[in-house]
């Protein structure tokens, strides 16, 4: 998959734009104390740069070298600093319980590793830390049939359900857990009506 993402992110334009995801922006604004945030599968850095501009200390990773290059370029333009590494989740070695917030925006993992990945990422979050997530829900396939420009994985096992997320994040108190339709306007690859899951939670 790193080859797929390297190809996508090697384009001159930003695949998903340079503005932060709307739900992420709204959710982040509800957190009063700003500490260290980890953005998983962060791509070209639009959300990481936004968090840094809001005063967060930002750590981010992606499996694509091209993604990192674009993210650091955007950070330079916006005059912020990102601690951005290229890594697969299996190889991550952040300190346990070192993050105040964990963010997963359209971070989709195969069914056979999804739960293990979510649980590993959760280990980096402090007790009382925040989890923010938006991703495509399983019924999103119906939206793709109507409009291919809306993007997202085209395999149902790569899409999420509320039940799966409840089980993946057992050690959390959910403040928001919903599926809903939303209108995406993010770069050239997220355009149109999508079916998404949204999650805001605190680690117990």
Please report, for the chain, the start and end positions of each structural domain, with discontinuous segments joined by +: 1-203
Place 56 in a pLDDT band, splitting at 50, 70 and 90.
very high
Q: Specify the CATH superfamily of domain 1-203.
A: Vaccinia Virus protein VP39 (3.40.50.150)
- CA proximity to 174, closest of 184, 186, 165, 161: 165
Give pLDDT, residue 177.
98
pLDDT band for 75, please (50, 70, 90 cuts): very high
Instruction: Return mean pLDDT, the chain.
Output: 97
Element of type H or E holding 28: helix 22-28
Cβ–Cβ < 8 Å for 194, 152? yes
Q: Is the pLDDT at 1 greater than 80, yes or no?
A: no
Question: Which structure tokens are listed for 76?
Answer: 């330079």
Evaluate if residue 2 carries a pLDDT over 90.
Answer: no
């Amino acid at each position: 998959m790193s080859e797929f993402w390297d190809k996508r992110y090697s384009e001159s334009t930003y695949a998903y734009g340079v503005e932060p995801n709307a739900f992420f922006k709204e959710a982040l604004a509800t957190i009063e104390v700003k500490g260290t945030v980890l953005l998983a599968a962060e791509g070209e850095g639009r959300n990481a740069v936004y968090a840094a501009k809001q005063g967060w200390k930002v750590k981010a990773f992606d499996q694509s070298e091209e993604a990192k290059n674009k993210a650091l370029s955007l950070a330079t333009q916006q005059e912020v600093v990102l601690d951005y590494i290229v890594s697969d989740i299996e190889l991550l070695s952040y300190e346990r319980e070192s993050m105040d917030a964990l963010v997963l925006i359209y971070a989709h993992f195969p069914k056979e590793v999804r739960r293990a990945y979510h649980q590993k990422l959760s280990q980096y979050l402090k007790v009382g830390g925040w989890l923010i997530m938006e991703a495509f829900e399983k019924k999103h396939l119906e939206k793709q049939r109507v409009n291919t420009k809306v993007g997202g994985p085209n395999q149902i096992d790569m899409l999420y359900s509320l039940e799966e997320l409840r089980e993946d994040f057992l050690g959390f108190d959910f403040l928001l857990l919903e599926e809903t339709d939303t209108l995406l306007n993010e770069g050239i690859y997220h355009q149109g009506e999508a079916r998404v899951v949204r999650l805001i939670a605190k680690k117990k």
